[in-house]
């Protein structure tokens, strides 16, 4: 067994134009002061990284790493969630997702897709240059609008959708293989990979590619009413990243999983700061320790009520206190009786 690394913090929800959230040096100093040990960097945010430059220049990557380490932290992983989303976009969502890409490719889905592919490939090389072993992403979605279908899905639609999704991702996964990086898909509403079965369909479409791994975030499973502990039992060999995020699901006589088009504050299912929701983190950390999870426990703050700075301040000790320092001996070693094969046979009456 191995002790989970942490606490880390995903910077995406905290970056802003005012200090200390306006550049890598300042935000790392802030995170270190709260007790975090690592930062997960959103690769699309130029305030903290130039992704292409980090891929093409080992010197620049070393500079980024040096800034983080100079603050007493490590880089846990890079995130390519926004770019990954653009690998597969159903035309119904074209306008909504344009904002994830540079203005010069807005309104041009082909150019936007090519940009996203290049970004993922840069992320593979940048991760290698930074000495990392995993990268986070989304799968994108061609089929999401049919997740609860009416009228019924045409026969073969799901198979065609995942076949196309696989074709788009295999060349990218091959680049990650070349650079020794696991690409970890977050199972998330709005993505074609949103639960265990859809992940299995994706794995089949990419020929069980060894680099097609998982980012585990239990908050999304609370909102789906999915057994997030059994998920670890089933997929632990593929879980290489972990977002520590809380959520709650409080259905009423008026709304349930779909939320009635309400705001996050008024939905039955909503994300909460750590400790304010319903996720059983004690059981999660126990299972990850049991299954020898070797990665980081990274806070992702998304709460519709609490201020983000309070969420971060409370999140570092919450994660630290849930990390289990694994034992290097059995609890009953004190009663151990040394033996050999002859003794064992005698005990058995042989």
pLDDT in tens, 121-156: 999 999 999 999 999 999 999 999 999 999 999 999
Q: Quick one: pLDDT at residue 343? A: 85
Q: What is the pLDDT of residue 213?
A: 98
* pLDDT exceeds 80 at position 330: no
Query: Mean pLDDT throughout 235-255?
Result: 98
Band of residue 288 on the pLDDT scale cut at 50, 70, 90: very high
Mean pLDDT of the chain: 96
**Encoded tokens for 113:** 């897709």
Give residue 114's pLDDT: 98
Give the per-residue pLDDT at 86. 98
Separation of alpha carbons 145 and 163, rounded Å: 17
Q: What is the pLDDT of residue 344?
A: 87
- The answer to whether the beta carbons of residues 274 and 315 sit under 8 Å apart is yes
pLDDT in the model for residue 1: 82
62-96 tens-digit pLDDT? 999 999 999 999 999 999 999 999 999 999 999 99
pLDDT for position 347: 85
Rounded Cα distance, 217 and 187, in Å:
7
- Residue 51 tokens read as 């992704």
Q: Where are the domains of the chain?
A: 5-347
pLDDT in tens, 208-219: 999 999 999 999
pLDDT in the model for residue 147:
96
155, 148 contact by CB (below 8 A):
no
The whole-number pLDDT of residue 332 equals: 64
pLDDT for position 319: 98
Q: 232 Cβ partners below 8 Å, 6+ apart?
A: 216, 239, 284, 287, 288, 291
pLDDT exceeds cutoff 90 at 48 = yes
- Within 10 angstroms of residue 289's Cβ, the number of other Cβ atoms is 18
| Range 5-347: architecture per CATH | Alpha-Beta Barrel (3.20)
**Distances in Å between the alpha carbon of 189 and those of 22, 147, 195, 246?**
30, 10, 9, 15
pTM of the full structure: 0.95
- pLDDT score of 333: 66
Positive or negative torsion for Cα 266, 305, 241, 278: negative
- Identify the pLDDT of residue 334: 61
Give the gyration radius of the chain's Cα atoms: 22
């Amino acid at each position: 067994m191995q002790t989970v690394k942490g606490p880390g913090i995903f910077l995406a929800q905290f970056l802003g134009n005012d200090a200390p959230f306006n550049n890598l040096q300042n935000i790392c100093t802030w995170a270190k002061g709260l007790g975090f040990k690592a930062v997960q960097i959103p690769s699309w945010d130029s305030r903290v990284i130039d992704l292409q430059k980090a891929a093409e220049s080992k010197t620049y990557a070393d500079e980024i790493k040096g800034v983080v380490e100079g603050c007493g932290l490590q880089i846990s992983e890079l995130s390519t969630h926004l770019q990954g989303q653009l690998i597969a976009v159903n035309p119904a969502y074209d306008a909504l997702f344009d904002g994830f890409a540079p203005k010069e490719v807005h309104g041009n889905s082909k150019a936007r897709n090519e940009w996203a592919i290049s970004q993922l490939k840069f992320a593979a090389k940048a991760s290698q240059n930074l000495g990392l072993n995993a990268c986070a992403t989304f799968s994108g979605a061609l089929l999401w609008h049919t997740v609860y279908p009416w009228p019924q899905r045409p026969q073969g639609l799901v198979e065609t959708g995942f076949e196309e999704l696989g074709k788009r991702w295999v060349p990218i996964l091959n680049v990650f293989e070349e650079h020794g990086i696991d690409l970890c898909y977050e199972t998330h509403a709005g993505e074609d990979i949103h639960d265990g079965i859809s992940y299995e369909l994706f794995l089949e479409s990419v020929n069980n590619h060894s680099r097609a791994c998982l980012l585990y975030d239990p908050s999304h499973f609370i909102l789906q009413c999915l057994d997030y502990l059994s998920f670890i039992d089933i997929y632990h060999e593929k879980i290489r990243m972990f977002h520590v995020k809380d959520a709650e699901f409080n259905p009423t006589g008026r709304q349930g999983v779909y939320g009635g088009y309400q705001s996050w504050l008024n939905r039955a299912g909503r994300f909460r700061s750590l400790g304010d929701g319903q996720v059983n983190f004690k059981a999660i950390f126990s299972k990850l320790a049991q299954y020898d999870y070797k990665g980081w426990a990274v806070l992702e703050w998304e709460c519709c009520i609490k201020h983000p700075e309070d969420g971060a301040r409370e999140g570092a000790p919450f994660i630290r206190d849930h990390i289990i320092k694994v034992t290097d001996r059995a609890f009953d070693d004190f009663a151990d009786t040394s033996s050999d094969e002859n003794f064992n046979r005698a005990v058995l009456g042989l």
